[in-house]
Amino acid sequence: MHVHSLGPLQTEQLARELAGLLQPGDVITLEAPLGGGKTTFVRGLATGLGVPEEEVSSPTFVIWQIYEGRMRLHHLDAYRLRAADELEEIGFSETLSGQDVVILEWPGVAEPLLPSDRLHVRIEYGDGEEERSLDLEGRGNWKQRLEQWQR
């Protein structure tokens, strides 16, 4: 599913609407260049789950943040990690197999740990400064969930 965003508020709103689909245990991966809008997207998702807006920030230096909403949301950034082991060591696998929702930025290194059911979001820059193109790819059971949502 492709969405054209014309500004940060649109990206945030899309993610906020997507939050309505979330169920316990869901995993979302998020890929975008720096400044692409990953944190903006997560802010929408989190507020959609009832998390106060100001709690959401970029986790680049914190690696792992937890927000309490309608469900608990784990926001991770694997940018600085070089191997899946490093995520294993901090207990990521246990969290993945639990009932909380997980959103992971820069998922590349974590690939071997990730479940086959997941929503993969890719954001790319568009022509204008505030234009982004978002590609939402449902994998496993997310494929159907996304299709239903789209209708």
Ligand X SMILES: Nc1ncnc2c1ncn2[C@@H]1O[C@H](COP(=O)(O)OP(=O)(O)O)[C@@H](O)[C@H]1O
Region of 35-43, 61-69, 89-97, 110-118 interacting with ligand X (CB under 6 A): 35-43
Residue 75 contacts ligand X per CB under 6 A: no
Region of 15-23, 28-36, 114-122, 140-148 interacting with ligand X (CB under 6 A): 28-36
Which CB sits closer to ligand X, 59 or 138? 59
Tell me 64's DSSP state.
E
Exactly one of 26, 27, 37, 87 binds ligand X (CB under 6 A); that residue is: 37
Residue 58 contacts Mg ion per CB under 5 A: yes
Residue 39 contacts Mg ion per CB under 5 A: yes
**Cα(116)–Cα(82) distance, integer angstroms:** 21
Which tokens is 99 given?
């009932």
Q: Which of 28, 10, 29 is nearest to 19 (CA)?
A: 28
Which CB sits closer to ligand X, 38 or 74? 38
Which tokens is 7 given?
């500004």
Residue 107 contacts ligand X per CB under 6 A: no
Tell me 105's DSSP state.
E
Exactly one of 88, 124, 130, 137 binds ligand X (CB under 6 A); that residue is: 130
10 Å CB burial of residue 16 (0-12, 13-18, 19+) is: middle
